[in-house]
Amino acid sequence: MNITKPFASTLDLIGNTPLVLLGGPSEEAGCEIWGKCEFANPGSSVKDRAALYIIRDAEQRGELKPGGTVVEGTAGNTGIGIALVANALGYKTVIVMPDNQSKEKMDTLRALGAELVLVPPTKFANPGHFVHTSRRLAEETEGAVWANQFDNIANRKAHIEGTAPELWEQLEGRIDGFTCAAGTGGTIAGVGMGLKAFDENVCIALTDPHGAALYNYYAHGELKAEGTSVAEGIGQGRITANLDGAPIDTQFRISDEEGLHWVARLLKEEGLCLGLSSGINVAGAIALGRQLVAEGRKNVRVATILCDTGFRYLSTLYNADWLSSKDLPVFPWLRDAAGRSD
Ligand code: PMP
C-alpha cells in the first residue's frame, strides 16, 4: 500500500501531491503522459505551494510578524492559498480584486475570512489597477506585507524545492519532458530549474494559451500576443522575475478549443474534473511527447500539471449557456441536460 505518513501540521498537507498516468493522453501521444494532481492541495490548486513559500519567506526576512497581514492583488487561486495559509499561521489576509470577477470567487474568498477590496477594472498602467492598489495598501497598512506573486521569486522556489524533486522521485529519475502554461511563471520556471539540476537532458517546454505573449518570445524573441483565451490563471505578457532565466527549450501554443477537448475527455474517460489550464497543459504535454518520440527518444515520459479543480468553474466551463456565450463547444452531456439541440 502506498500511503503517506501522518502529518503534525495542516501546512504539511501542501505539496507532495500524487502523480497519475493519464490513459487517453498517453495513447494519443504514443508515450507516457503523467499528471501532477495539484488540485489535491488543501486550497484545491497549485498556488497553495507559492502561498506557503511567500509567507514563510516574509517571516524569515522578518517582515511578517505575529498578527500581521498579507496583502495581494489576485482574483483567484493565489488568494485562496494565501487565505488558508494565513489562517493556519494566525495572519490576516487582504485581497484586492477587480469588481468584474465572478461572484463565486468573491464568495469563496469571503468564506475563507479574507477581507475583500473591490476596485474597478483598468489597464495595468493605471495606478488604480488591482495589483498597484494591493501594493499601496500593503505599504499603508501597519504590519502588512505584499505577496507580489509575479516578481517574488519565493514563488518559483516552491517548485524548485518541492514540485521538481517530487516529480523526480515519483518517476524514479526517468523523465524526458515537462511542460505547463505560465501565469506568474513560478511553476514552469521552478520545475524547469529543479528538473534540469537533476538532469540537463529533460526537455522543458512552455505551453502558452492564445492571447499570451510568451510563445512568441521564446520562439522569436519578441513579446507579442495573438488571439484570446478564456482560461483563468494563465497567459502572461511580460517576463516576470519568476520567468527570468527559466530554462525553456521549446514551446507550444494551444487553443481554448483544444484545451476544452481534453477537459471533457479527462472528465468522461478518466473521472477527473479540472479547470481549463489543466486541459491546455495536457494538450501541450501530448504535443511535447509526440515531438520527443519523433526525435527518436525511446520509452518517452512527459509530466505536466493538473492545476486546479473544475468545481471552481461550475458557472463557466461546466455551464452550457456560458460556453455558448463564448462561442465555445458545449460538452454533449451538458447539452443533453439543458435539453438543447445546438
Ligand atoms: N492554472 C491556474 C488555474 C492558476 O490559477 C495558475 C496561477 N496563476 C496557473 C495555472 C499558473 O501557475 P503559475 O502562476 O505558477 O505560472
Per residue in 33-71, pLDDT tens?
Answer: 999 999 999 999 999 999 999 999 999 999 999 999 999
Same domain, 188 and 312: yes
Same domain, 168 and 280: yes
Give the separation between CA 152 and CA 130, rounded to whole angstroms: 17
pTM: 0.96
Same domain, 193 and 121: no
Cβ atoms within 10 Å, residue 222: 8
Q: Is 92 a catalytic residue?
A: no
Which residues, at least 6 apart from 121, have a Cβ–Cβ distance to it below 8 Å? 98, 99, 100, 130
Give the separation between CA 263 and CA 331, rounded to whole angstroms: 10
pLDDT at 121 over 90: no
Give nearest CA residue, ligand 1 atom 8. 233
Same domain, 183 and 303: yes
Same domain, 110 and 253: no
Please give the residue range of the domain that contains residue 304: 10-40+164-325
pLDDT at 342 over 60: no
> Are the C-beta atoms of residues 185 and 305 closer than 8 Å to each other?
no
Same domain, 125 and 200: no
Same domain, 113 and 232: no
Give the separation between CA 215 and CA 228, rounded to whole angstroms: 13
Same domain, 206 and 251: yes
* CATH code of 103's domain: 3.40.50.1100
Centre of ligand 1 from the C-alpha of residue 214, in Å: 14
Centre of ligand 1 from the C-alpha of residue 184, in Å: 7
Give the separation between CA 287 and CA 303, rounded to whole angstroms: 12
Count of domains for the chain: 2
Same domain, 180 and 314: yes
Same domain, 103 and 33: no
Give nearest CA residue, ligand 1 atom 5. 233
- Give the number of C-alpha atoms closer than 13 A to the C-alpha of residue 70, restricted to the C-beta side: 32
If you count them, how many residues does the chain have? 342
| 3-state secondary structure at position 177 | strand
| 3-state secondary structure at position 55 | helix
Cell of 320: 452550457
pLDDT at 138 over 90: yes
Per residue in 182-230, pLDDT tens?
Answer: 999 999 999 999 999 999 999 999 999 999 999 999 999 999 999 999 9
Give the separation between CA 286 and CA 118, rounded to whole angstroms: 39
Centre of ligand 1 from the C-alpha of residue 283, in Å: 16
Task: Tell me if 16 is assigned to some domain.
Answer: yes
Task: Tell me if 4 is assigned to some domain.
Answer: no
Task: Tell me if 151 is assigned to some domain.
Answer: no
